Structure formats: C-alpha cells, structure tokens
Amino acid sequence: MINIAVLGYGTVGSGVVEVIEKNKEMVNKKSAQELNIKYILDLRDFPGDPYEEKVVHDFNLILSDDSVSIVCETMGGVGAAYQFTKQALEKGKSVCTSNKELVARHGPELLAIARDHSCNYLFEASVGGGIPIIRPLNYSLTAEKIEAITGILNGTTNYILSKMEKEGAGFEEVLKEAQENGYAERNPEADVEGYDACRKIAILSSLMMGRNVDSEKVYTEGITNITAADFAYAAAAGRSIKLLARSRAVSEDEVLAMVAPFMIGRDHPLAMVNDVFNAVFVTGNMLGDSMYYGRGAGKLPTASAVVSDVIDCARHQGRVIMCFWDQGNARLSDISSEERSFFIRGKSGEERTVESAFPEGRLIRIEGRAEDFGYFTPVMREKDFMEKCKALEDVVLGRIRLL
Amino acid sequence: MINIAVLGYGTVGSGVVEVIEKNKEMVNKKSAQELNIKYILDLRDFPGDPYEEKVVHDFNLILSDDSVSIVCETMGGVGAAYQFTKQALEKGKSVCTSNKELVARHGPELLAIARDHSCNYLFEASVGGGIPIIRPLNYSLTAEKIEAITGILNGTTNYILSKMEKEGAGFEEVLKEAQENGYAERNPEADVEGYDACRKIAILSSLMMGRNVDSEKVYTEGITNITAADFAYAAAAGRSIKLLARSRAVSEDEVLAMVAPFMIGRDHPLAMVNDVFNAVFVTGNMLGDSMYYGRGAGKLPTASAVVSDVIDCARHQGRVIMCFWDQGNARLSDISSEERSFFIRGKSGEERTVESAFPEGRLIRIEGRAEDFGYFTPVMREKDFMEKCKALEDVVLGRIRLL
C-alpha cells in the first residue's frame, strides 16, 4: 500500500480524490499496489465530506509521516506550494502537481532536488490539463529532435475566441458571459493577457531544449484587442483567430518563444480546436508533425493527469524518472527579426496609405462594413512591420500575425 | 554501451539505422548510454552501404551473441519474424517491432514470454506509425477507464479517400495513381479491404480491455465500394467519408469492434485528418475525449517510434515495463444490434420505395445528378437496416454508416 497526501482540497485536489476513488480498481492495478489517501491538507474543514476525517491543517504532520511517499500538490501559487514541495522532495517524497506557475518558476530546481533524493517531481497536469503531453515529450518522442511546438494552451481564451467567431460577438460581451458561466475567472487577467499560456509554453520549451526557458522573458500578447471585425475579415479570408503559444529551437541553446493571437488557415489542424479544448502541435526532425488534443482544463481531466503521475511514482519508487530540464537558461531570440505576413484592419479611406506603406499586399473588403478594410501584408520582418504601424497609429485599427 | 541487432534492412529497418545515426547524441542521452548497431540481419547483401559490414544472414549469430540485448524486428510477416522474436525474448533480449500483423496475432503470448524472461516486447510503431499512442495508452491514460477508441489507422485508404473527396475522382482511378506514386502497394488488398486497420484496432482494443481481442473476429469492411457520388452527397450534407476503426468497451470482458467507412460531420476532429495522416480518438471516463494525430506510416516516422522503444528498453534493462494484455480473449459483440443512422444512395425514381422502407429520414438531391438520390435514415438497428437493404437490392446503389 502506498500512502498519499493531497495538498489543497479545491477543484483539482477534490478531483484527484474522486479519480482515485472512482477508478480504484484500475488505478491500483496500474500502480501494482493499493493507493491510499491518508491526508488532505487544507485550511478549511469539510464537515459532512466523506473524506472529512483525512483533512488536516498542519503540513508538518504529513512531512514527518514516513509512511507517506507521494504528495499531490494541487494548491497553486508559488508561496507555500513551493516550500511544501521542496520540503517533501527533500524527505524523499515524490510530488505530483498541476501547478504550472510553480513548475515554470522553479521546475529545474525542484527536479534537481528530486533527483538528489531519489524521488520524482512530475507535472503532467501543468500543461494541457488532461492531455498527455509532458510524458509523450519525455518518453515517446525520445528519438526525435523536437524543432518546434505550437499550442492552444489556454481553455478560457480559446472558449472566448471560439464564441466570438461563432456568434460574431465582441470580446467584452463574450468575456462577461464566460465569467457568468464559470469558463473565465472574475479576474481574467492571467488568461486573457496570455500569462497562463506563457507559463505553459515556457515549460514545454524547457523540455524541448533540455534547458530552462524563463517564462518572464517570453514575449506575450493577449486577446483583449481582438474584435468581432477581425473575425469577419478572418472568415472572409478562410481563416480563424487563435491564441497560439509558439516555440522554435533556433540552436542548441537558443529558442524563439512567444504567445500572441494568430490568424491561421482553416485547414491547419489547430483551426478545429474549439471551445475549452487545447492542443499541442509538435514538429520533430524524423516524425514531422504530430498533435495532441483534448480537454485543457476542468476538474476531472486535470485530476486524471495528476493521478497518472501518482501511478508513475508508485511504479518507480526509489527510482528517478528521466526528465531533461537543466537549470542553465536557454537564450531567448528577439522576435523582432522573425519574418511573416500580418493582417491589418485599417481605417476606411486610408487604403492608399496602407498599400503604399506595405506594398504588394492583399486588400479585402466586406460588404456592409463601411468603417474599415482588411489588408494582408507580404512576408516582412516583425521589426519593420511594427515600426511602420507605429507611424500609422491613426490608420491601423488592428493587427494580427499570420501563421 | 548497448548492442542492437536490426532484423530486416528494408524501409523501416534502414530507417531505424538512420534515426539512431542522425540523432545519435539525443538518442544516447535519452538512453543514458551509447547505442551500437552490431548486426543487421537480411537475406541480401548491401555492397557499398555504410553498414555493409554489419549485415549478416544467420539469425543464430545474433541469438548466440550475449552482448546483444535489444533486437529490432522490422521484417514483417508472422513466419520467421515470429520465430526470431520468440527466440530472442527467450534469451532475455528485448524486442521492438513495427510488425502489426505479428503483434495482433501473437502479442499476448510474446508479452508473456518477455515477462518470464525479464525483458520487454514493445510495439509503439505497430499502430499509427510515428504517432505516440501505445505509450500514452499504457503510461499516460493510466487513471482512466478507456471507454472507446476511434481511429483513422491506415494511411493508404485515408490518402485515397482524401483525394477522392478533393478531386471528385473515383476509387479505381485514385488507387491507380496512389500505386504509381508509392502511396499504395501493388497488391493493395490489406489496405483497401481494411485488414491493416483491423489489426491495428485489435491491438488498441486489446490494450483498452486488458484482454486479447482477436483481429480475425473483428467485423471489417473496406473502401472499395465508395464512389465519387457518395462524396458528392456527403459534401452536400456537410460531411466527409473516412475509414474508421472503432472499438467500444461494452462490459469488463466484452468489446464492440469494427472497421468500416463512415460519414462523419465536418466539425468532428477526425474530419480534418487528411492524406496519409492518421489519428486516434480516445474517450476516457475522466478525461473525456483526447486525440493523437500524426504520420501513420513512412520510413522515418515509423523508425522513430521503433527507436523510442529501443530507448525505453535501454532504460529498463532487466525490468519489465507494464503492459496489460492478457492471453484470455475478450468477447466480441455482434454489431448487428448497434443503432445508428445510415446514408443510402438510391436509384432515381425509387424515392418513394426508400422513404416507405425507412420512414422519417431525410432525402437529399444534388443538382445535375439524375441517376441517383441521397437518403439519411433515422437511427435504427444495423440488423434491421441490412435486412431492408437486402430486400431493396436493385434500389440501394450504396450505403454508408453515419457517425
């Protein structure tokens, strides 16, 4: 029997308990032994909860109990979660987490501590919710040199963009609705500004590079400037708009990483990823393109990924599972030298201005839209594009990168 | 250093050598030691080949060399491949294979032999080419009760159907073209009759059930009856036609499995899987739907999957990697009691006959098509549908299941 402690009895934590309970037989079979939830750490009490008696308030109780060998950190944040994770690993207890913020911030340090204490720090649930992506990168695509990763990594923004596309609605309106039905937080900044996707692409990029990619240095742009008009032009051009988190290995120790809205062709596999679904598109030097798709968030999908880590720990007690993520930092390329096409939404009457600033592009108009026009620039350097846009501040109403 | 023998220096075998060579640094790092190709078994000689000197003709040389610990079986077939695999495993040498026919036929027996000799029999490349699917099922979705698997598992047929759809061309014409450019074999039966997809879904179903699913008992229908006309009606109804391999757990020991062309909605994630790409759509009881997409065939993608197995073997020498696939057979449900809608292509003038045989369906016509009409039946039992079709032999020109 393996004793487990769950830190944080919120959405994911209670999901972990539910998955282990509901799929008990399967989970124990796959673990090759019985998993027993011994403690649930939370500041609150849960009178009437079937696990009421397992709830404790003092982490030291868990830390000092040598019979606990696996800890699920489902608290979130980088304060207590960091301290508890570190202390648990130093005691040789494996930690499984859904906390992308902590993994992005302290991943390599915590992995090193785990290694030194012959236990494991696993974080399948930190990216893509229930989608298996960390393990495929670490265990499956091992014969590949991963060249690039492009993901739809945030369910809230994908839900908002899908809804804007389907209903022709504006950002604020859809955000409000998403907040009302629980698909967006009351403070939606981490999602809509792209910070959440940024942490996740930093984690994936670190695994791709084998070196640490500092999430705070990743260029990040959210979706707050995307309008219903942009979707109208995208549709007219046979495209969709998605918040993409992208990463490309430039050299052994240099990576280009960014988060921004992109207009993508409708025939791209990522274009069909709608609503709260997430997907990760991986390009390897032998396999070419592969994609991993599923529910990127939600109680049970996320909990399922945490429990798959628990099972992995159970089967590897005293053995370190391979994960290449060194503490040395990868260099981040300046995105301003990237080359691509851009979409511009311009102010009506200024077609000539835009055409002469970005010659040889493609102008599109939509019947009934008198106030603006659409324009696709030829392939150009990001730096040149931005400089020209700045000079045309009153003319360029909106701009979106093309994939 | 780990010594490897490659059995069969054909497409996949030479790909294995190429992947290990090209990604040497990465592969050795992930293996935590150096991989060395010591032997290549083939009946032919390869004068001028850089690996010419490693080529041997006698398997016993490999078998009796205790320094060889991993064997890649890329010969195909169920004759010598079976004997060699068995003998290697009995000697404690792990075997990695792309041979779906052998895995489908003798998987559980070979897994048991591997277990008894503390080595491994791995077959990631046997389904979905380079797409990681066996390992996600075995290692990632471990906290899930897998309820259903639906896959596009054969690249040749998917290429043919995609081309028919895009170009409005007929089956024979596209097949001929596919044969000419190497996307289809000269004897295409295993692909176009669905046998290849059948073996693969039998393997996936066996892993889903933990029991053996006999591929010879899986209902299998190919794509030879699909016409350009069927695609015209599918398009008119916002649908596509795909050869799907499906499997659903009915109970602990009973499974419903089948291979057949299906009309699927364009918004289904599998609808965007075109050309030689494959995808596996998995439904779990906690995670819900997830999908794994990529190149389902081809030299390097398939070889990459074989080498990922080699790396796994290298990291687990002397230890058995978990794989639940018992020798006991799962029961196969009779598909005739399944319920679904069907598409019928009927002979013009017989609209009334079809409508009265399958009341409350939906008739569709396409301008310019005088010879036939389309009809979607309401949901009904497969058995009832087939009986009625039989009675209308002269009226029903084509029929396709709906997903």
Query: Where would I find the H helices in A1-49?
Result: 11-22, 24-31
pLDDT band at A143 (very low <50, low <70, confident <90, very high): very high
Alpha-carbon distance of B359 to B167, in angstroms, equals 33
Burial of B56 (0-12, 13-18, 19+ CB in 10 A): middle
Mean pLDDT of B302-311: 97
Q: Work out the mean pLDDT of chain A and round it to a whole number.
A: 96
Cβ contact B23–A272 (<8 Å): no
Is the pLDDT assigned to residue A360 strictly greater than 90?
yes
Cβ contact B143–A294 (<8 Å): no
Biggest distance spanned by C-alpha atoms of chain A = 74
Q: How many helices (H) and strands (E) does chain A have?
A: 14, 19
pLDDT attached to residue A182: 85
Is the pLDDT assigned to residue B261 strictly greater than 90?
yes
Q: Which residues of B touch A21 (CB under 8 A)?
A: none
Mean pLDDT of B37-58: 97
pLDDT attached to residue B297: 86
Cβ contact B290–A290 (<8 Å): no
pLDDT band at A95 (very low <50, low <70, confident <90, very high): very high
Mean pLDDT of B344-368: 96
Cβ contact A130–B291 (<8 Å): no
CA torsion through residues B204, B205, B208, B214, sign: negative
pLDDT attached to residue A157: 97
CA separation, residue B205 to residues B119, B127, B280 (Å): 23, 11, 12
pLDDT attached to residue A293: 97
**Residue of chain B whose Cα is closest to the Cα of A17:** B143
Cα A163 → chain centroid: 20
C-alpha closest to that of A140 among A27, A284, A335? A284
Biggest distance spanned by C-alpha atoms of chain B = 74
pLDDT attached to residue A135: 95
**How many residues can be counted in chain A?**
403
pLDDT band at B124 (very low <50, low <70, confident <90, very high): very high
Mean pLDDT of A135-164: 96
C-alpha closest to that of B246 among B210, B279, B293, B288? B279
C-alpha closest to that of B324 among B152, B205, B242? B205
Provide the pairing of β-strand A94-97 with A121-122.
Answer: parallel
Cβ contact B23–A301 (<8 Å): no
Is the pLDDT assigned to residue B226 strictly greater than 90?
yes
Q: Which residues of B touch A291 (CB under 8 A)?
A: 291-294
pLDDT attached to residue B224: 97
The end-to-end CA distance of chain B, in Å, is 50
Q: What are phi and psi of B184, to 5 degrees?
A: -135, 150
pLDDT top residue among B117 and B129: B117
Residues 6+ apart with CB under 8 A from A13: A6, A7, A40, A42, A72, A74, A75
Q: pLDDT of A288-306, one tens digit each?
A: 999 999 998 899 999 999 9
Provide the pairing of β-strand A254-265 with A396-402.
Answer: parallel
Q: Work out the mean pLDDT of chain B and round it to a whole number.
A: 96
CA torsion through residues B171, B173, B176, B178, sign: negative
**Residue of chain A whose Cα is closest to the Cα of B306:** A143
Alpha-carbon distance of B149 to B95, in angstroms, equals 26
pLDDT attached to residue A93: 98
Query: Which residue among B32, B284, B308 places its CB closest to the CB of A304?
Result: B284
Alpha-carbon distance of A342 to A386, in angstroms, equals 10
User: Whole-model pTM?
Assistant: 0.96
Residues 6+ apart with CB under 8 A from B304: A141, A143, A144, A284, A286, A287, B15, B19, B130
CA of B286, closest CA in chain A: separation in Å? 5
Report the percent of chain B where pLDDT is more than 70: 100
Residue A156 in contact with residue A192, Cβ under 8 Å?
yes
Is the pLDDT assigned to residue B161 strictly greater than 90?
yes
